[in-house]
Chains A and B, each alone.
Chain A
């Protein structure tokens, strides 16, 4: 299996995939093969065992269980084919979950990411105290979703919360934003953004600081205004980071759970429910494990298909770039 002298796959194509140590490994052909194979096994086994047993196996179990009507106890026996899937796609709650995921993605792409980008550009300016601003903006990222959600539950709690007071100043009624099916999803989105915009801002800022100064100087020399420089120099060069942020944002939305579970439990009348919350309700509260597994698999396929298409179509160049750049860091 492991032939140190013939390594066609590493030699072919992108030179960056060939590790720097390869040359030495090849010249060391006299090392006994069995020893080398043993080394590989020793180094790979812990990671591989953990990964296969706790990441891959669950996906397999879920796909199997999704074909059964099963309460989670004993072995699944009542095979029902794809009924769980047809049920999910016929269920208004689950269809609503899909719709709400789409709404959240659109909100993130049109509000959260542009705001984060704007703030990153702002903090890239020579501004006194910008490191303090940066520290504060990013801080919510380290708070857990649960802590954040409980805090905001209390901020907006009727009578004792901050929300009430501020709403009174504005002449509105804050107590209802989590109780009103029309506003609750937006409220959840705002709190998710509160926690996560700093992450994206940080990523954009790091990428912005990686752009060589000369490029902007050249643009200015050529008479570009600051907007033109942003539009034609900064934005294209931030492309890879923007695209991966969109990716993270979509994947994060598909699995959104903690925040919603603690803030609203998915209510009122499912108005803020997500796929993960629906899955959790059926799997852990109503013991319809077969049905909940089908929802899990749909979530998984959504992420996988999205990821594959996105990487193929949108991020292809970026990955190539990232791989070829690796060699240059030496």
Chain B
């Protein structure tokens, strides 16, 4: 009796594993094809797209890594993501503090205004945004990407942070005030340090969003020296459309920072996404 039950259980597990492996294969194979493809030449790619490279041809990777273009795009992506995230989280934390711990007339109205921002698809605003940025002279300027990204990230960040700030008991604030803290002191010395996990979460979300943004840098930067990785990858594909292996190498290299970041910050990312949905 128990042995049949065991066997049924084991069979069930086997099926579950097989399903997982099948799905995993669908995910991994295209990426694996890219990684190996980068080590092949185009002749090998057409005769042997799946197998190991024979011989290994690292020139595609080394060529890109030796070129200035890749590193500059990487640097631009990092600069924009980090600055933008910093500005956004700072502004959002301040606003969320007010929304969470002050009562004033019009508070809910203002908060609703920000929450409605969640429903503005970025694609809707891109054209007027371009016109505005041109008017402000922010084209071909990293601020032209940083500031709008920060603005569009505000709603979700404010919602998450407000929720978190509310969970900090009023007694903490009272104690701080008794110790002579003003609202600034409380915010800076008590609230922000306590909110470190929440700040990490929203920062990770913002970094990923900024890293993957394509539309805005595409229209803001006509000057190639400002291109970010997504814009660069797309342009590289256009430039070397005949050289599949080389484009594969570029794509793979541009994936590496994102995947490395994912490996480090997976928990914050998942927590942030799940949390933002709850809010």
Residues of A within 8 A of B (CB): 1-4, 7, 9-10, 17-26, 28, 36, 39-40, 42-44, 46-48, 50-51, 53-55, 57-62, 65, 72, 119, 122-123, 125, 127, 129-130, 133, 135-140, 142-147, 150-155, 157, 159-162, 164-165, 194, 199, 202-203, 206-207, 241, 244-245, 248, 251, 254-255, 257-258, 261-262, 275-276, 279-280, 283-284, 289, 292-293, 296-297, 299-300, 303-304, 307, 322, 325-327, 329-330
Check if A1 sits within 8 Å of B92, measured CB to CB.
no
Q: A151-B31, A154-B244, A161-B49 are in contact. Are A244 and B124 (CB under 8 A)?
A: no
Q: Which residues of B contact A276 (CB under 8 A)?
A: 121, 123
Q: A54-B148, A54-B152, A304-B119 are in contact. Are A44 and B94 (CB under 8 A)?
A: yes
Check if B247 sits within 8 Å of A154, measured CB to CB.
yes
Beta-carbon nearest neighbor of A255 in chain B? B121
> Which stretch in B22-30, B54-62, B63-71 binds the other chain?
B22-30
Check if A43 sits within 8 Å of B120, measured CB to CB.
no
Give the CA-CA distance A36 to B182 in the complex, in Å.
10
Q: A162-B49, A262-B234, A326-B167 are in contact. Are A144 and B104 (CB under 8 A)?
A: no
Q: Which residues of B contact A4 (CB under 8 A)?
A: 103-104
The interface size bin for chain B is 35 or more
Beta-carbon nearest neighbor of A63 in chain B? B128
Q: A20-B170, A206-B270 are in contact. Are A62 and B128 (CB under 8 A)?
A: yes
Check if A3 sits within 8 Å of B274, measured CB to CB.
no
Is B137 positioned at the interface, with any CB of A under 8 Å from its CB?
no
Q: Which residues of B contact A130 (CB under 8 A)?
A: 20
Residue contacts A-B, CB under 8 angstroms, 10 given: A2-B105, A17-B108, A19-B103, A21-B101, A50-B91, A55-B154, A58-B125, A142-B269, A194-B27, A284-B219
Q: Which residues of A contact B101 (CB under 8 A)?
A: 19-22, 25
Could you mark each residue 265-279 of chain B with 1 if its beta carbon is under 8 Å from any beta carbon of chain A, else 0?
Answer: 010011001100111
Check if A47 sits within 8 Å of B91, measured CB to CB.
yes
Residues of B within 8 A of A (CB): 13, 16-17, 19-20, 23-24, 26-31, 33-34, 37, 42, 45-46, 49-50, 90-92, 94-95, 97-98, 100-108, 110, 113-114, 116-117, 119-132, 147-148, 150-152, 154-155, 158, 163, 165-170, 173-174, 177, 183-184, 187, 208, 211-212, 214-215, 219, 229-231, 233-234, 237, 244-245, 247-248, 251, 254-255, 258-259, 261-262, 266, 269-270, 273-274, 277-279
Q: Which residues of B contact A162 (CB under 8 A)?
A: 29-30, 33, 49-50
Number of A-B contacts (CB under 8 A): 314
Q: Per a CB cutoff under 8 Å, which of B125, B170, B214 touches A21?
A: B170
Q: A137-B23, A144-B230, A194-B26 are in contact. Are A3 and B105 (CB under 8 A)?
A: yes
Q: Which residues of A contact B168 (CB under 8 A)?
A: 20
Q: Per a CB cutoff under 8 Å, which of B16, B116, B152, B248 touches A154?
A: B248
Check if A48 sits within 8 Å of B215, measured CB to CB.
no
Check if A7 sits within 8 Å of B104, measured CB to CB.
yes
Q: Which residues of A contact B131 (CB under 8 A)?
A: 61, 65, 72, 289
Check if A1 sits within 8 Å of B219, measured CB to CB.
no
Give the shortest distance, in Å, between A144 (CB) and chain B (any CB). 4
Check if A160 sits within 8 Å of B45, measured CB to CB.
yes
Check if B121 sits within 8 Å of A160, measured CB to CB.
no
Give the CA-CA distance A133 to B24 in the complex, in Å.
7
Q: Per a CB cutoff under 8 Å, which of A10, A50, A155, A262 touches B33?
A: A155
Q: Which residues of A contact B229 (CB under 8 A)?
A: 144, 147
Give the CA-CA distance A135 to B266 in the complex, in Å.
8
Task: Apart from A55-B154, A330-B169, list 19 A-B contacts with CB within 8 A.
Answer: A4-B103, A17-B108, A19-B101, A43-B95, A44-B95, A54-B125, A57-B128, A58-B128, A119-B19, A129-B17, A136-B27, A143-B255, A143-B259, A150-B247, A154-B34, A154-B248, A160-B49, A296-B128, A326-B163
Give the CA-CA distance A65 to B130 in the complex, in Å.
13
Per DSSP, chain A at the interface is helix
Check if A202 sits within 8 Å of B273, measured CB to CB.
yes
Give the shortest distance, in Å, between A90 (CB) and chain B (any CB). 21
Beta-carbon nearest neighbor of A146 in chain B? B230
Give the CA-CA distance A296 to B126 in the complex, in Å.
9
Check if B277 sits within 8 Å of A241, measured CB to CB.
yes
Check if A40 sits within 8 Å of B251, measured CB to CB.
no
Q: A54-B147, A154-B37, A303-B120 are in contact. Are A10 and B103 (CB under 8 A)?
A: yes
Check if B27 sits within 8 Å of A9, measured CB to CB.
no
Q: Which residues of A contact B105 (CB under 8 A)?
A: 1-3, 7, 9
Check if A145 sits within 8 Å of B214, measured CB to CB.
yes
Check if B20 sits within 8 Å of A127, measured CB to CB.
yes
Q: Which residues of B contact A147 (CB under 8 A)?
A: 229-230, 233, 251, 254-255, 258
